[in-house]
Amino acid sequence: MELIESHLCFGGEQRRYKHGSAVLGCEMTVSVFLPPDFGSHTPVLYWLSGLTCTDENFVQKAGAQRLAAELGLAIVAPDTSPRGEAVADDEGYDLGKGAGFYVNATQAPWASHYRMDDYIVKELPPLIEALGLGSRRGISGHSMGGHGALVLALRNRDFYGSVSAFSPISNPVNCPWGKKAFGAYLGDNPADWESYDASLLLADAKAPWPVRVDVGLKDNFLEEQLRVEALEAAAAQSGSELTVHRQSGYDHSYFFVASFMEAHLRFHAAQLK
């Protein structure tokens, strides 16, 4: 990876890299926070952002670096989709660039670039660990990224040691955002969508780790798009340890994410250390 930006931050470094992605067939950027004295002992938290975001939204708005430095956590924030002139796009904000949904697309014209599942799980970790970091991994995210964090953890239960989410799209096969994206990326058959639905995956088998979810009760998307009650029902069915924190007065914004970032970072540090 080529370092394109670096800033000293709470004794650590906030870096930004670019690299060619063989999986996505384009150049990608990724932001990486390295705590002081990082090394092979340092666990890595992968952060997946939501619709319209890039790798920079989290590092600029979440306020995570101070505590991550204290806890000795590295944080990796990749982009939300492939980028570039050759990459297919859509006029809507909820499909195409900025809206990869962390799936491996199977349908044209998306399949040639939109393979965010393989990128996050298979291609990116070796690049990150080559910086000298350890192989203990957690994953978290917000909204579309909360969906991604839950789904990728549940699809790769031995790969991640901790998982949490803010405002996750919890049951995408039954919400407008999910139906639109999955129909485009995965095809018209809803049965082909099920392996990327966190509620269905959680209902199928008990999670090997506790799961933390936070949602704001003034989130405009709470009932129609997020459907966290489906995730709770799934956890009850499989006997999984899921805690949903419903935060009174909070909305869907990064103000909400920043307000509870400390709790999530301490949650991951406890699991990974």
What is the C-alpha separation between 208 and 118, in angstroms, rounded?
22
Among residues 113, 142, 252, 268, which one is catalytic?
252
> What's the number of CA atoms in the CB half-sphere (13 Å) around residue 230?
21
How far apart CA 205 and CA 116 sit, in angstroms, is 24
The answer to whether residue 143 is catalytic is yes
* Set 219, 240, 264, 268: catalytic member: 219
Residue 240 known to be catalytic: no
The residues near 85 (Cβ < 8 Å, ≥ 6 apart) are none
CB neighbours (10 Å) of residue 37? 11
219 carries an active-site annotation: yes
Q: Which residues contact 69 (CB under 8 A, 6 or more apart)?
A: 9, 10, 11, 12, 35, 36
Catalytic residue among 49, 143, 164, 167: 143
Q: Which residues have a catalytic role annotated?
A: 143, 219, 252
